[in-house]
Structure 1
Amino acid sequence: MKLIECPRDAMQGLPDFIPTATKIAYLNALLKVGFDTLDFGSFVSPKAIPQLRDTTEVLAGLDLTDSPTKLLAIVANVRGAETAIQYPEISYLGFPLSVSATFQRRNTNQTTAEALADVATMHELCERTGKTLVAYLSMGFGNPYGDAWSPEIVTDFTQHLAQLGVRVVALSDTIGASTAATIAPLFSALIPAFPAIEFGAHLHTTPATWREKVSAAYEAGCRRFDGAIGGIGGCPMAADQLTGNMATENLLAFLAERGQEPGLDLEAFSRARSAATEVFALH
């Protein structure tokens, strides 16, 4: 079971800038917990995501000593990827490849064809520098724009990624549109069809629907889950009203119910949760 903590997603839509030192202290607390991966920042236009304009400074302040956690940075284009690969501390580059053409344009200012071309280039960059590209299939469970969506379309995108050699694909809810009825069939079909790909679930949810969503993905074979302490965050490019991330606390509760050991330092998690309360209470 892999748990990916996503403070980047929790922070990016907040209107008030979180001081760099505050970000660093919070991320360093998270690095002590033992998450598989920390989605810590992004190399994107500061005009698009002003909250994360200090990612380079934040990275310089992180204490990776004795932490098993790997770092993931989101990039929106090849230029961002070229910047991210310069940092040996970063293991993963994440790119939001949208199943919705409208959202691809809103999110990265690209057509689908341009985004797919960038994925190919970024994957090659990662292979050459010892990093791994994570392709997030955003709007993976539907979209609010009226763009075509079906399991077959998601499968076609995945097939393209598989042909490129992409090894990690996260189906991303983005706006909280998913239900157990859409989550379970997708993972049940994709996981056996593409055995070379590690599939993840990046689910946005309301407090009332988290359990059914996690359960559907888990029972269908998914073992890689993104979460954010407190369920904070959402994509500012997707909608005016943000739907929160999957709360990490809920993921841990779900695993405990099934007798699964997450391998985390729960005391460190408690301290990080307290730090999150202080960080996000400022906003």
Structure 2
Amino acid sequence: MKIIECPRDAMQGIKGFIPTDTKVKYINQLLKVGFDTIDFGSFVSPKAIPQMQDTAEVLAKLELGATSSKLLAIIANTRGAEDAAQHKQIDYLGFPLSVSETFQQRNTNKSIAEAMEQLAQIQDICHKHGKTLVTYISMGFGNPYDDPWDVETVVSFVEELDKLQVKIVSLSDTIGVATPENITYLFSHLIPSFKHIEFGAHLHTTPTTWKEKIEAAYQSGCRRFDGALHGYGGCPMAKDELVGNMPTENLVDYFENNGVNLTLNKAALQAAMAESGAVFL
């Protein structure tokens, strides 16, 4: 079981700039917990995401010597990929590919066709520098723009990613509209059909629907889950202010109650949860 903690996703929408040293202190505490991966920052235009303009500076101050956690950075184009790939500490480059044409334009200023071309180039950059590409299928469970969506469309996107030899694909419930039914359908069909791809669940949720979403993905074979402590962050386009990231502590509780040994440092986790208040509140 892999839990990916996503402070980047939690931080990026906060309007007031979080001081670099505050970010560093928080991420260093997260590194002590034992999460598989920390989605710690992004190499994107500071005009687009001003909160992440100090990602390289944060990276330089992280205490990586005593952690087993790997680092993931989000990129939106080949320039960002080249910048991120120069840092040996980064293991994964994450690219948001949307099944919604509208969201792809809003998120990366590209059409889906242009994004796919960029993705092929980014995969080459990853191979050249020894990085692994993680592709997020944004709006993977529906969108608010009335753009066409169905499960077959998602499957067709995975087929295209498979041609590019993408090894990790995370289905993103960007606005929290996933249901247990379509979560179950997608994971139960994709996982056995593409056994060489690691599928993840990046689920957004309300306080009342988190358990049914985790359960549907887990029982359908998913073993990679993204979360953010206390559910901070989420999609700024979400109409419901209660729709945030999947709370990591809920993931931990669910899996441990189902007999999964996550081998996390509980004291470090509690300290990180306490520390998060200084970052987000």
Q: What is the TM-score when the length of structure 1 is the normalising length? A: 0.97
SS of aligned partner of 1:203? strand
Pairing 1:196–2:214 present: no
Change (3 A) 1:103 1:198: same
Q: Deviations over 1:110-157 (max 9, x none)?
A: 001100011111111111111100000000000000011011100000
Tell me the CA shift for residue 240 of structure 1: 5.9
CA distance in 2, matches of 1:226, 1:60: 24
Tell me the CA shift for residue 239 of structure 1: 4.0
Change (3 A) 1:79 1:240: farther
Tell me the CA shift for residue 241 of structure 1: 5.2
Partner of 2:72: 72
Q: Deviations over 1:30-53 (max 9, x none)?
A: 001010000000001111111111
Tell me the CA shift for residue 278 of structure 1: 2.1
Percent identity at matched positions? 60
Pairing 1:226–2:226 present: yes
Partner of 1:245: 245
CA distance in 2, matches of 1:106, 1:280: 25
CA distance in 1, matches of 2:225, 2:208: 18
Partner of 1:268: 268
SS of aligned partner of 1:170? strand
Structure 2 spans left out of the alignment, 5+ residues: none
Pairing 1:34–2:37 present: no
- The Cα RMSD (Å) is 0.9
Q: How many residues get paired?
A: 280
Partner of 2:170: 170
Q: Deviations over 1:174-232 (max 9, x none)?
A: 11011101101000000001011000000000110000000000000000000000000
Q: Deviations over 1:48-87 (max 9, x none)?
A: 1111111111111101011000000000111100100000
Letter in 2 for 1:84: A
Large movers: runs of 4+ above 3 Å: 238-242
CA distance in 1, matches of 2:240, 2:45: 22
**What are the equivalent positions in structure 2 for 1:1-283 lying under 5 Å apart?**
1-236=1-236, 238-239=237-238, 243-281=243-281
CA distance in 2, matches of 1:179, 1:77: 31
Letter in 2 for 1:135: T
CA distance in 1, matches of 2:82, 2:122: 8
Q: What is the TM-score when the length of structure 2 is the normalising length? A: 0.98
SS of aligned partner of 2:199? strand
Contact 1:12 / 1:235 at 8 angstroms: preserved in 2? Answer: no
CA distance in 2, matches of 1:104, 1:279: 29
SS of aligned partner of 2:204? coil
SS of aligned partner of 1:148? coil
Letter in 2 for 1:212: E
SS of aligned partner of 2:91? strand
Contact 1:24 / 1:62 at 8 angstroms: preserved in 2? Answer: yes
Tell me the CA shift for residue 235 of structure 1: 2.7
